[in-house]
Amino acid sequence: MNPRFERTATLMEDRFGLFIHWGLYAIPARGEWVRSQERISNEQYQTYFEEFNPSLYDPRSWAKAAKAAGQKYVVITTKHHDGFCLFDSKLTDYKAVNTPADRDLIREFVDAFREEGIAIGFYYSLIDWYHADYPAYNDRIHPMRGAESFKDTTGKDFNRYLDYMHGQVKELLTNYGKIDIMWFDFSYDDMTGEVWRATELIEMIRSLQPDIVIDNRLGGNIMAAEPEVYAGDFYSPEQIIPPRGIVNELGEPVPWEACITLNGNWGYHAADSAYKSPRQVVRALVECVSKNGNLLLNVGPDARGDIPKESLYILSAVGEWLRRNGESIYGCGIAELDKPEWGRYTQKGNKLYAHVFDRGIGPIYFQGLKGRIKRARLLADGSELKVETPWMAEQYSDTGSGAFIHLAGGDLPDELDTVIELELYSSETGELGGEKA
């Protein structure tokens, strides 16, 4: 089997993860790019370092919220583009331990999420706007781009930055036990691939954590027939769900995970109240799974260490839906049937899950399933549904193709997503079913 599929098998079974963007930028509360957008110097940003004291930080409550949300893995920003480290790196003083927080925030975090049985992922930014050896003047996103005082690059040594970056990755993958996901961000322009000494980095990572799964943002082309060794194990679209699944240039499926914010920002943004609804999130998760992908859903805790209440509400509502319908998500993937007009399908073996988003009028029509449904149940409560052609549908029950299921009531039992579990006759009889790659 393709080693990429072996490595990502568990992750792709898990389907739903929590992304956490947290750091000094929670204090200005204008998103995690505030330094670049407002061209804030290290000196100006230092004020946030000197006051960072998330006194309400309780990673156990975060972990419990993720568990209740049905999230099977978590990815946290150990260091974002601003260079501030939530972990106790011995390679820098620019870390939470040296702020009024006075603690290794990642140590407590890992312990709390492991306690809930949630797999651990570390986001680590390749970009570092604090480090003196990272390119600034000619860089197109650095906060000090074009600043006269940064024009003279005498003494700058990018290789020294790479030694630092590789060293921090080694610390993260050595000091915190088994890490399941390494989530790099991001390559751009000529800052990609071997410019990061990516092959050396990947070899070190795989020697420290042989089972770890790595995203594709170190560079290279994960869609190539022969991807570079550093091209990663999964593709990472952000703020979009790909129109179809992700396949490489040979047409082979590529593991993928869409990362999405709950409002419009990754990092805490006090003025951004444009939150998605639980329905939007449930349907985004279903869409990802229906296309063989995962959803990594983001929260941005505030400077006190609290996840915004709006985010907690959405996580809780999605978790309640998953508590009753999770069988249609976890371990499921693309179905052989085309997308129906009333919603989406997910499938696992001979279980086909009909995610009905649009009630329509009359019975639900299942193109191509005539005579193939062994039993139908409303997944949420296990109640039996009859597979029959009611009188008003008789003239439409085309031969050998469609099946009808009547749903009682005027509207859908669950307006987020009503799931019908269809057990199909087993694949031995050549019927629809069996694992789909």
Q: Residue numbers of the site for ligand GLC (CB under 6 A)? A: 21, 32-33, 185-186, 238, 259, 266
Q: Which residues pair with 365 in a beta bridge?
A: 404
Q: Which residue's Cβ lies closest to ligand GLC? A: 238
Closest CB 33 distance from ligand GLC, rounded Å: 6
8 A C-beta contact, residue 302 and residue 271: no
Closest CB 405 distance from ligand GLC, rounded Å: 39
8 A C-beta contact, residue 340 and residue 366: yes
Nearer CB in complex with ligand GLC: 186/425: 186
Nearer CB in complex with ligand GLC: 62/266: 266
Closest CB 244 distance from ligand GLC, rounded Å: 21
Nearer CB in complex with ligand GLC: 259/419: 259
Nearer CB in complex with ligand GLC: 21/95: 21
Nearer CB in complex with ligand GLC: 220/363: 220
8 A C-beta contact, residue 362 and residue 395: no
- Residue type (1 letter), 133: D
Order of strands across the sheet that contains 383-385: 343-348, 351-356, 418-424, 373-378, 383-385
Closest CB 11 distance from ligand GLC, rounded Å: 16
Nearer CB in complex with ligand GLC: 34/63: 34
- Main-chain phi, psi angles of 321, to 5 degrees: -65, -40
Closest CB 381 distance from ligand GLC, rounded Å: 37
Closest CB 80 distance from ligand GLC, rounded Å: 6
Closest CB 242 distance from ligand GLC, rounded Å: 15
Peptide bond into 186 cis (omega under 30): yes
Nearer CB in complex with ligand GLC: 198/378: 198
Closest CB 239 distance from ligand GLC, rounded Å: 8
Nearer CB in complex with ligand GLC: 62/183: 183
Closest CB 188 distance from ligand GLC, rounded Å: 9
Distance CA 357, CA 289 (A): 15
Nearer CB in complex with ligand GLC: 76/329: 76
Tokens of 157: 């040594």
Nearer CB in complex with ligand GLC: 68/141: 141
Closest CB 251 distance from ligand GLC, rounded Å: 27
Nearer CB in complex with ligand GLC: 7/35: 35
∠ Cα 397 401 402 (to 5°): 50
Closest CB 238 distance from ligand GLC, rounded Å: 4
